[in-house]
A and B are shown apart, each in its own frame.
Chain A
Amino acid sequence: MYENKEMRQVFGSVIEEMMGKDERIVVIDVDLAKANGTMKLREKFPERAFDVGIAESNAASIAAGMASYGFIPFVTTFTPFATRRMCDQIAISVTYAERNVKIVGTDPGISAELNGGTHMSMEDIGVLRSIPNMVIFEAVDNVQLAQALPQIVDYDGVVYIRMFRKTTPAVFGDDYKFDLFKADVVREGKDVTLFASGIMVAESIIAADLLKTEGIDAEIINIHTIKPIDRDAVIKSASKTGAVVTCENHNVIGGLKSAVAEVLVEECPVPMKAIGIQDHFGEVAKIDYLKKKYHMTAADIVAAAKEVISKKK
């Protein structure tokens, strides 16, 4: 039902549906409602969908205040502003004070494309992951996002939702059952595990297909919730395959690689390699170009998989 829809359209329509049923839900924009698919909410819910202008820190604290009154605010903006510009407010007004606020960041990492380096958040997960008690979720596709949002509303706590805005390949089918705190086995395999998040899940599926032609059986696990990470799923898969590649659209410092490594180094150290942003800033270009330039393609995942397999004892 979500085919050919942009992720922001799905976000906007699911939120609209939930707002109709649940009067606690509020959407706070910071002059990016048109970009994020939330503009139309104002027609139907003029009191509960509003803009605070280009003032992200104010948005986060206003959300915390509204949460004190029993509302469940979603603050929506681009990922760099959702984290860099709101960091202290998320830490103190929201998380330290245990306010039930949801922060939505769109255009993560290289998906900011022509907005370029200033708008490419390589650090948002790393920044937020070190704030105690935050839940960090990165959506893979429309089906997952649509199932995730009601669970995020039901969860009483701070959640950061990291999502692509535009059209993204469908990964999950209609039979998909989402659990906010359980990682998804996208494909079972025995030779190597590809732990992937966000737009890199689709890339890792292409990589797994390529590996298959070479007789390598890759397992793909989607870590959609990077914090708290599903430790059991990470340990189970890494124990089985004995080799790991992480695939993320974020700096390899502080994000998915770090989260996976933190589990494995304690529980079952195995050869590991990280595909992602190798600790540098972004620049203007389309995603495909940047994937190639930053070594984030399926071919790069294949090479990394072979390398970790060769290091198995």
Chain B
Amino acid sequence: MNKTEVINLQDKSRHIRRLIINEIGKLGVGHVGGSLSIVEALVVLYYKQMNINPANPKMEGRDRFILSKGHAGPALYAVLADRGYFDVSELDTLNIPETNLPSHCDMLKTPGIDMTAGSLGQGISCAVGIAKASKIKRDNAYIYTMVGDGECQEGQVWEAAMAAAQFKLNNLIGFVDNNGLQIDGTTEEIICLGPLADKWSSFGWSVQCIDGHDVEAIDNAILEAKKVQDKPSMIILNTVKGKGVPFIEAMGSANHSMPVSEEDRVRALAELK
């Protein structure tokens, strides 16, 4: 990636964060922390790596992204809107009755959402099914998925991990949003994930650990993952929950789902500059 591309993706990340703050801020409450922590990964996927067509969200053979940590829907909605799947003004409808943008991702409601998620642990299993289906169809699509680090406490994540390795799904590229926080505290004090990279590796995945806010590192990691021949890839993104807004970052686990007053919204936008 050249310097201009890096700067463009960094600018895009800032813009997406502004959209997220406005989207949740206008509603007054939402999953802020885990939305802000995944922005760079989404930006690299949707503006650089994925073979998609916003004018034809169900294009056959497209690459797919399954947000297993479905509560970060507001981040993905901001990206999809900015990318042209629907009008940016629709972000103002987040979680209001009859919206197409519910708190957790719903493939039946939102153009560009490839799988419904919300009950943690299920999205990555669905992604395994999708990657297996793509292999049978031989359409050469890449299937991306993202789990939370807290989500890795769900047993189903590891059932999915074993199946993906068994099926040699090298078209499956996962991310862990390793922000170290969950609702009740740090992952370390709740149920420690231990050596997470070793865990994924021992489950038969090719693993990379990178700075989850470095667009160039993310892009390079995806390119590396695409070279892997006979196993799925996991990219562990070391991230900061609430990234980009210092007062939200400082809240720690309290920023998972938080009230956002008009004053907070304005302050957050100012701090984002």
Q: Which residues of A contact B (CB under 8 A)?
A: 47-48, 50, 52-53, 55, 57-58, 60-71, 73, 88-89, 91-93, 96-98
Contact = CB atoms under 8 A, between A and B. Distances in A.
B129 interface: yes
A53 B129 contact: no
A93 B134 contact: no
Contacts of B132: 62, 65-66
Interface of B: 66, 106-108, 114-116, 118-119, 121-123, 125-137, 155-156, 159-160, 162-163, 166-167
Contact of A69 (B118, B122, B125, B134): B134
Given A57-B156, A92-B119, A98-B108, A64 B133 contact: no
A61 B126 contact: yes
Nearest 5 pairs of A and B residues by beta carbon: A65-B129, A61-B125, A69-B133, A62-B129, A58-B159
Contacts of B159: 52-53, 55, 57-58
Contact of B125 (A53, A68, A89): A89
Given A65-B125, A71-B133, A58 B108 contact: no
Given A61-B156, A92-B119, A68 B163 contact: no
A66 B163 contact: no
B125 A92 contact: no
B107 A58 contact: no
Contacts of B107: 68, 97
14 contacts: A48-B136, A55-B163, A58-B156, A61-B122, A62-B163, A65-B115, A65-B128, A69-B129, A71-B136, A88-B122, A92-B116, A96-B116, A97-B107, A97-B115
B160 A68 contact: no
Contact of B129 (A55, A66, A91, A98): A66
Contacts of B108: 97-98
B109 to A, nearest CB: 11
Contacts of A55: 156, 159, 162-163
Nearest to A47: B136
Contacts of B163: 52-53, 55, 58, 62
A292 B241 CA distance: 61
Contacts of A63: 129
Contacts of B136: 47-48, 71
Contact of A93 (B106, B114, B116, B131): B116
A66 B133 contact: yes
Given A65-B129, A97-B106, 14 more contacts: A48-B136, A50-B167, A57-B121, A57-B156, A61-B129, A62-B126, A65-B126, A66-B133, A68-B107, A68-B115, A69-B129, A70-B133, A96-B116, A97-B115
B156 A65 contact: no
Contacts of B116: 92-93, 96-97
> Is the contact region of chain B dominated by helix, strand, or loop, or is it mixed?
helix
Given A52-B163, A62-B163, A96-B116, A57 B125 contact: yes
Nearest to B116: A97
Kindly name the residue among A61, A91, A92 whose own CB sees the greatest number of chain B CB atoms within 10 A: A61
A70 B127 CA distance: 14
Nearest to A58: B159
A61 B118 CA distance: 13
A39 B79 CA distance: 44
Nearest to B105: A97
A102 to B, nearest CB: 14
Most B CB within 10 A of own CB, among A57, A67, A71, A89:
A57
Nearest to A92: B119
Nearest to B118: A92
B132 to A, nearest CB: 6
Contacts of A48: 136
A65 B134 CA distance: 10
Given A55-B163, A61-B160, A62-B128, A89 B122 contact: yes
A286 B163 CA distance: 36
Given A48-B136, A68-B114, A88 B126 contact: no
Contacts of A88: 119, 122
Contact of A58 (B114, B130, B160): B160
Contacts of B134: 69
